[in-house]
Amino acid sequence: MQTENFSIIHGVDGSCFQRHYLNEDFEYSFTLSRAHRYRLQCYYTEQGFLDDVFNISHYWKSRKYCQPNSWLQGWLRREIQALIQEEDVDIIVYHIFGVVNASLTKREQKSHMNAPEKVQEEFKTSVSEAARPFLGARTERFVYEIQLFLASGLNIEAYDAVYIQRLGWSSPGVNSQVSENELIDRTTVIPYMYIFNDDSDGNE
């Protein structure tokens, strides 16, 4: 169910933003879906465990960034919602998505002049500067995850399937059930499992 927007994000200048709640007495709560929680869990795993499946270096060297990705905006929306635990993230998504697109387009035009490593570093710098005001300490991992998704060339559903299979987790779908034993097993990889509650979806 779509929640009404009771706040306005404004004053986005690349280094900070302001949020104004129209009704200060309104108690806002955004419940993370299983898909959101799955993505949040990923940020507590070791970076690089999928590098043998989705080769980020090859993505840049082969100039695959010249190919548009029609699923990126949807992926960004879910990722940012999970990370900042807010439902209304449209203005943040548009800001970061615009920077990503502009960066890739600019790199495409200069790709014949610059080495792939330089193109990649410039991309990472641009996206980091756009995302850091909103994501803080998670910015570096977020930029890595963007590159991983782009390098996969997959839609969101297929990408999730590969990610989850490698981790040995259950599907993040609404109807999937996660056993207590699975959660205990995962603590060896994800140290902060207490932030997740199987009953929070309302499905028992």
Written as one letter, the residue type at 14 is G
Lookup result for tokens 């890739």: 104
CA distance linking residue 146 with residue 79, whole number of Å: 9
Residue 47 token pair: 């970076």
Where does 3-87 have alpha helices with state H?
Answer: 34-42, 56-61, 72-84
pLDDT computed for residue 105 by the predictor: 83
CA distance linking residue 76 with residue 146, whole number of Å: 8
Pairs from 189-193 (Cβ < 8 Å, separation ≥ 24):
189/44, 189/45, 189/46, 190/41, 190/44, 190/45, 191/44, 192/44
Residue 99 token pair: 């920077």
pLDDT computed for residue 64 by the predictor: 92
Residue 159 token pair: 């990408």
Q: Is 9 helix (H, G, I), strand (E, B) or coil?
A: strand
pLDDT computed for residue 181 by the predictor: 40
For 59, phi then psi, to 5°, come to -55, -45
Q: What is the dihedral of CA 121, 122, 125, 129, to 10 degrees?
A: -160
pLDDT computed for residue 135 by the predictor: 97
pLDDT computed for residue 192 by the predictor: 32
pLDDT computed for residue 200 by the predictor: 42
Chunked in runs of 10, what are the mean pLDDT values of the chain (204 residues)? 51 44 56 92 92 95 91 98 95 97 76 80 97 97 98 96 86 43 36 36 43
- Alpha-carbon distances of 100 from 48, 61, 162, rounded to whole Å: 21, 18, 24
Element (H, E) at 4: none
pLDDT computed for residue 111 by the predictor: 56
CA distance linking residue 138 with residue 195, whole number of Å: 16
First-to-last C-alpha distance (Å) of the chain: 19
pLDDT computed for residue 9 by the predictor: 54
- Alpha-carbon distances of 36 from 13, 87, 104, 141, rounded to whole Å: 27, 11, 26, 16
